[in-house]
Amino acid sequence: PLGGTGHESTLVTLGGAVFIYPIEEKTGDEFVKYALDQGVNHIDVAPTYGDAEVRLGKWVKEYRDDVFLACKTGKRTKLEAQEELKRSMDRLQTDYFDLYQFHGLDDPEELRTVMGEEGALQAFMEARGEGLINHIGITSHNPENIMRALEYIDLDTVLVPVNYVLHAHPKPRNDYVPVLEKARERNIGVIAMKSVAKGPYPTEEKTRDTWYQPFTTREEIEEALRFTLSQNVTTAATSSDIEIARMMIDSAENFSPM
């Protein structure tokens, strides 16, 4: 299960990031329906993912009891986080989130703001008390900052890059291993991002709807996913590239741990 949340998340999470890049409504709907038909039961979305919240709203409404719905806020103060939470709930047509996360908390200064007086953490705690959110998580590209957050905040989940390229070239800023160890120790759920990342694009030109150069063949994606899911990871969020996202969902069916 996803740590102390107790939710049996599927190996792959439907990532709302596919809506960052322009895709036609029909294409988007077909992808979401495909994911849900394949049994994907965990959705991860954010207000900054294009119009993902609005596009996913009708699906959330229809499948609300069948999915674990995770949303995020990049707002760091209490008031702004409260406003964004309400707006996200309206757009996603739900009256609660299973998981609400501090989005992209890479900067130690921002972490201090979140934990300070009138910081976003207060909004999260109050919302949990009111039943608007069930669990609290963090997402970050900076494992060092996640380790700092874990010292002070009782988190239920972490969402962090886990892939074999980072594993092969660990630097303190991107070494996720201590986070995975701490998560195991404290029964914190781990959601992986960037599981199919190969590295930065070699030139300015992007060949895919991703921030990074991804693996693109079914075989590579299956291997990459196999590596990520063989770490202390419950589920991997799909890529922002719709074709790769679909391949990830298919690849999960053949998963066997390393």
pTM of the model: 0.95
In angstroms, what is the C-alpha Rg of the chain?
17
pLDDT at 166: 86
Is 80 exceeded by the pLDDT of residue 211?
no
Strand, helix or coil for residue 63: helix
Read off the pLDDT of each residue in 68-94 and give the average, rounded to a whole number: 98
At the fourth CATH level, the homologous superfamily of domain 3-252 is: NADP-dependent oxidoreductase domain (3.20.20.100)
Per 3-state DSSP, the chain is made up of helix, strand and coil in percentages (nearest 5) of: 45, 20, 40
Confidence band, pLDDT 50/70/90 cuts, at residue 119 = very high
pLDDT at 97: 99
Secondary element (H or E) of residue 141: none
pLDDT at 7: 97
DSSP state of 215: P
Confidence band, pLDDT 50/70/90 cuts, at residue 105 = very high
Mean pLDDT of the chain: 95
CB atoms within 10 A of CB 176: 24
Decide: 249 and 35 in contact? Cβ < 8 Å.
yes
Confidence band, pLDDT 50/70/90 cuts, at residue 212 = confident
First to last CA, the chain: 19
pLDDT at 132: 99
